[in-house]
A and B are shown apart, each in its own frame.
Chain A
Amino acid sequence: MNIINTGASARWIYTSDSAQPFQGLSPSVETIKTVCRSHHVCHRAEAAVLMTGPTELSKRNKWLGRALPLLLSIIPLIAACRRDMMNQPKAKPLSESDFFSDQANARPIPPHTVAWRNARENDAFYTGLTNGTYITELPVKLTPALMARGRERFEAMCAECHDRTGSGNGMVVLRGFPQPPSYHVPRLRNAPIGHFFDVITNGYGVMYSYATRVEPEDRWAIAAYIRALQLSHNANASDLAVAEQQKLESRK
């Protein structure tokens, strides 16, 4: 657990896990500093949400409900102590602040800083581009584990609209969202793999960016899985291994 001092007048920022503190960071420093590890500490301002305690009404209910048995057992003083311990003056992820003007304890990333995961050490890996053109080869090793991961993430993050086969008839589309193109049209079949990475990172048309929701590693896993989906709709029996072809024949 860290307690982070953000400066002279500021109170603490408390983080419960691996977050790195904003240590003595001066905004004038131009170099990129590796600052934050976990998303919830450095939320982007427009992306912040707050979680507050129970409403006044339920607070009162809770207070009454908790205090009543204690009153009955004639130790009302404990009720006061208990509340102090329950709501300690520390900030938890996304908790409400009475200090910052936007009332959020989660702070926007200070200028001139980049989360360490977004450090662009390897351009192709973080952008899908080399010299401004989409890369055509997957920049990570293709393994069964990567494919499984890609499938899991695709079904969690993309299938709502693109549906599990990639045809673009997901549930949300059936409820009125604009229909995305099928992945099985020639243009997307021939698109370089970097394009899929780029669409996830930066969005495309009415589709929002998923950069804050899908890590770069997972974006490549999804891109690889989309390739597999495309292949699954565009394969001939002769592409199969001989043994598999025989199996297919025997089914007929």
Chain B
Amino acid sequence: MAQLFPKSANVHARVTIFGLVILICGAGWATSTIYWSPYTTNVDVPLQQPIPFSHKHHVTDDGIDCRYCHTSVEKSSFAGIPPTETCMTCHSQLWTDAPVLASLRNSLATGQPLKWIRVNDLPDYVYFNHSAHVAKGIGCSNCHGRVDRMPLTRKAETLYMRWCLRCHENPQQFIRPRDKVFDMAWRAPPNQEEQGQALIRQYHVDTSGRLTNCSTCHR
């Protein structure tokens, strides 16, 4: 009987098998790369805002405290975005004809609020609370990065669940003294592990496991 498969079938079989493996791995790799790339996570991607507001100018160059504008960050779940009136506190006198601020003046004249685009946007099925974190010594820069160096505001972290959990499982690696919460330049000292443990006791951080309970964040 004649050979059913020509000799080249061996090569074809190998190429197909290896090709398939490579294809599957490649697809997996491509998927995860896209999933973790700024394309999906929006990390470090500045958005088109109604006014190109610069934290770098206002915080670093003009020395304005976070709480001057984000007034409710210590008291409420919501950090707060400054109303038009807050900007006008200074811009009624400064940069009064600047074209970049035209929509600000327009908002004041018409009473129509400015529409800022959310940079950090959790899905609605997640509960988050600023005051709970600020009160326990978690600083703005832990979650928002060096906002004071951002000419345009951008997201510093993915805000994925695994990112929240990384800290909720080991808060001692991140916690800092309360008076350093607004200090953008704070860095963990070499003895962070010990200091963190001490602060956890001092601030009565819940170590019963509630922090990693699903219902803490999905309520």
Chain A residues contacting B32 (CB-CB under 8 Å) are 69
Chain A residues contacting B13 (CB-CB under 8 Å) are none
Q: How many residues of B contact A (CB 8 A)?
A: 54
Q: If A93-B78, A208-B85 touch, does A156 touch B63 (CB 8 Å cutoff)?
A: no
Judge whether A177 and B113 touch: CB under 8 Å: no
How far apart are the CA atoms of A218 and B35 in the complex, in Å? 46
Q: How far is the CB of A56 from chain B (nearest CB, A)?
A: 10
Q: Indicate whether A132 reaches chain B with its CB closer than 8 angstroms.
A: no
Judge whether B116 and A50 touch: CB under 8 Å: yes
One digit per residue, 1 when the CB lies within 8 angstroms of any chain A CB and 0 when it does not, for chain B 95-122 equals 0000000000000100111111110010
Q: How many residues of A contact B (CB 8 A)?
A: 58
Q: Indicate whether A24 reaches chain B with its CB closer than 8 angstroms.
A: no
The listed residue (A46, A68, A88, A175) touching B62 by CB distance below 8 A is A175
How far apart are the CA atoms of A72 and B84 in the complex, in Å? 45
Q: How far is the CB of A125 from chain B (nearest CB, A)?
A: 20
Judge whether B84 and A46 touch: CB under 8 Å: yes
Judge whether A62 and B124 touch: CB under 8 Å: no
Judge whether B78 and A47 touch: CB under 8 Å: no
Judge whether A52 and B124 touch: CB under 8 Å: no
One digit per residue, 1 when the CB lies within 8 angstroms of any chain B CB and 0 when it does not, for chain A 224-242 equals 0000000000000000000
Q: How far is the CB of B202 from chain A (nearest CB, A)?
A: 17
Judge whether A157 and B68 touch: CB under 8 Å: yes
Judge whether B83 and A47 touch: CB under 8 Å: yes
- Nearest-CB residue, chain B, relative to A153: B67
The listed residue (B40, B42, B62) touching A171 by CB distance below 8 A is B62
Within 8 A of A (CB), among B17-59: 27, 31-32, 34-35, 37, 39-40, 42, 45, 47-48
- Nearest-CB residue, chain A, relative to B85: A47
Judge whether B35 and A69 touch: CB under 8 Å: yes
Chain B residues contacting A120 (CB-CB under 8 Å) are none
Q: How far is the CB of A199 from chain B (nearest CB, A)?
A: 14
How far apart are the CA atoms of A49 and B80 in the complex, in Å? 9
Q: B-contacting residues of A (Cβ < 8 Å)? A: 1, 16-17, 38-40, 43-55, 57-58, 61-62, 64-66, 68-69, 72-73, 85-88, 90, 92-94, 96, 102-104, 155-157, 159-160, 170-172, 175-178, 206, 208, 212-213
Q: A-contacting residues of B (Cβ < 8 Å)? A: 27, 31-32, 34-35, 37, 39-40, 42, 45, 47-48, 61-65, 67-68, 71-72, 75-78, 80-86, 88-90, 92-94, 108, 111-118, 121, 123-125, 127, 129, 219
